[in-house]
Amino acid sequence: MTIVVLSLLMGGMLFLLLGGWKDGQAQTTKEAQPKVVLPKVINLATHPVGTLLNSFGNGMATVLSKHLPTVVKVMPTTGPTEWLSMIASGEVDFGILNNWDAKNGRYGREEYKAATAGKGSPILLLCSGTPNLGGILTSEASGIKKGSDLRGKRVVSIYTGSAGISRQASANLANFGLKTSDVKVVSVPSVEGGVRAIIEGRADATGSVGLGMATNAELEADKGARFLSFDPSPEALQRMQEHFPCYLVQVSPGPGRIGIKEPTYMMAYDFYLVGSEKMSPDVAYSLIKTLWEFDKELAPIHIRLKDWTKDRFVTKTATIPYHPGAVRFYKEIGAWGAEMDSVQKKLLEEK
């Protein structure tokens, strides 16, 4: 009996020792796995305070800072004409802009040739997001009800902080068969400044404004705000697309749609979140993984962020290549297929 008891005791001790050794080995293996080290602060560039893209940036910074061991700091600027050069210097890590600004900014084309000294900005796509809805905004007090009423009026058509927005203004006028020479051109630093020009009486209309901008509410309270409805005919749309890649969407009055007085056709195009080529693949992977998993937390922050959803992150109409860290994540979750490989290859070959 004593021998049996001793055998059982020794067997139990051996089992515990082996089990403990295995647990310890598993723990060591787990701890040995490499961890992604994120910078303490990551700078996110946007348009000025009060603009739609600044609101988007604040929303993303809130979600990313909440779920990652880093602080995402929002840097309001006059627009990508200013901050794209800061990507190369390392002052900015990532930013939000439209598809036209992204393409021409990366390759140093059009108005970005001078801004980047012809070298372009080293940016790569992290994800595509909310399509912007915008158009020509005026005040109810101006008496302007349709596009033809703009002829001879003071219209903000040049936005020095964003070449892309200036192009949108030209496209919007073209929809109505107008050129900048048909109006009295007003120049401002930013899209937000265009709305303020109307409020301050320096302009009758502003050529390109995003639906949902905070300054739109200020105009509504002061003089009443009204978006002009675009001509949806194929001919009018073609005139717009000669200036800017876009399509038209009809929007009805509703919450958060200040300036929409009746069903109104608006210009639509995609917004991008882009990152520096210098951003490590691990950091890019972490940022996109977090936005993918917590995209539902964006909507309560701003009504337009409800459309910044994961089904839009990967787009076949991308104008610049994706960041390798983002590609790695998309492939892991099955959101990136052979067709996107072809799209990426073509974009990487573009000079």
Per-residue model confidence as pLDDT tens digits over 255-314: 889 999 999 999 999 999 999 999 999 999 999 999 999 999 998 988 889 889 999 999
**Which pLDDT value is given to residue 1?**
41
200-237 per-position pLDDT tens digit: 999 999 999 989 888 999 999 999 999 999 999 999 99
**Which pLDDT value is given to residue 304?**
83
**pTM summary value:** 0.74
**Cα separation of the two ends of the chain:** 86
**Which pLDDT value is given to residue 340?**
97
Residues 6+ apart with CB under 8 A from 183: 150, 151, 152, 153, 154, 155, 157, 173
Is pLDDT above 50 for 30?
no
12 or 138, greater pLDDT: 138
45-66 per-position pLDDT tens digit: 999 898 889 999 999 999 999 9
**Which pLDDT value is given to residue 12?**
46
CATH architecture of the domain 133-269 equals 3-Layer(aba) Sandwich (3.40)
**Which pLDDT value is given to residue 213?**
87
Percent of the chain scored above 70 by pLDDT?
Answer: 90
Please, are residues 325 and 93 in contact by the beta-carbon 8 Å criterion?
no
- The number of beta carbons lying within 10 Å of the beta carbon of residue 239 is 18
Q: Where are the domains of the chain?
A: 41-130+270-349, 133-269
CATH architecture of the domain 41-130+270-349 equals 3-Layer(aba) Sandwich (3.40)
Q: What Cα–Cα distance (Å) separates residue 182 from each residue in 106, 155, 176, 254?
A: 32, 10, 11, 33
Q: What Cα–Cα distance (Å) separates residue 37 from each residue in 18, 20, 170, 288?
A: 34, 31, 45, 15
Summarize the confidence of residues 232-248 as an average pLDDT.
94
Q: Which two tokens stand for residue 300?
A: 């309560």
Asked if the domains 41-130+270-349 and 133-269 are classified in one and the same CATH topology, the answer is yes
**Which pLDDT value is given to residue 20?**
42
User: Picking from 23-27, 74-78, 218-222, 309-313, which range would have the lowest pLDDT averaged per residue?
Assistant: 23-27
19 or 323, greater pLDDT: 323
173-204 per-position pLDDT tens digit: 999 999 999 999 999 998 899 999 999 999 99
**Which pLDDT value is given to residue 186?**
97
Is pLDDT above 60 for 103?
yes
Summarize the confidence of residues 72-95 as an average pLDDT.
93
**Which pLDDT value is given to residue 293?**
96
- The number of beta carbons lying within 10 Å of the beta carbon of residue 72 is 22
